[in-house]
Amino acid sequence: MIVYSLNCREGHGFEGWFASSDSYEEQRARGKLVCPVCNSRHVDKAPMAPSLAGTRKADPPAQELRKMRQFMTGLRKHIEENSEYVGPKFPDEARKIHYGETEERSIYGEATIGEAKDLVEEGIDVAPLPPDIGEAN
């Protein structure tokens, strides 16, 4: 099944489900496409519709994905180079820094989801380190 965003001549937008693009063309040619709002038979594919369910070949998101990977890898590197690794002591250290019990600095380390949640609830800013996914390609 494929779904098309359709518009009638009056500008009503609706969705039409078809077995295939041929089926759409056939139903359109036979005037079987009817606007559910005004019953107009002047129905066509919405020109600016987003690509849905494979109505056309989607633009490959590879470029975007690569940019994101580069960004995340760079971010991770930046954190690793500018922060002190405290390992599993992270929740304790983050607390100490927050409450001024130790020198204020950037740290990173390990925390369970539960520990991270506790920190956030105490008003301590923590953010997950971007995953180490390596360079694309």
Integer Cα distance of 84 and 92 in angstroms? 14
Report, in Å, the least distance between residue 56 CB and Zn ion. 24
CA distances to 80, 92, 108, 118, 128 from 114, rounded to whole Å, are 23, 13, 16, 6, 13
Of 5 and 40, the one with the shorter C-beta distance to Zn ion is 40
For residue 44, the cross-strand partners are 7
> Is 8 a residue that touches Zn ion (CB under 5 A)?
yes
Report the nearest approach of Zn ion to the CB of residue 74 (Å): 50
Comparison of 27 and 83: residue with beta carbon closer to Zn ion = 27
Judged by CB under 5 A, which of 15, 19, 38, 99 binds Zn ion?
A: 38
Strand blocks (E) in the chain: 2-8, 13-18, 43-45, 84-87, 107-109
What residue type is assigned to position 72 of the chain? Answer: M
Q: Does 5 bind Zn ion (CB under 5 A)?
A: no
List the interface residues with Zn ion, window 40-99 (CB under 5 A): 40
Least distance between Zn ion and beta carbon 30 (Å)? 18
Give the DSSP letter of residue 102.
S
* 15 interacts with Zn ion by CB under 5 A: no
Contact residues for Zn ion, defined by CB under 5 A? 8, 10, 12, 35, 37-38, 40
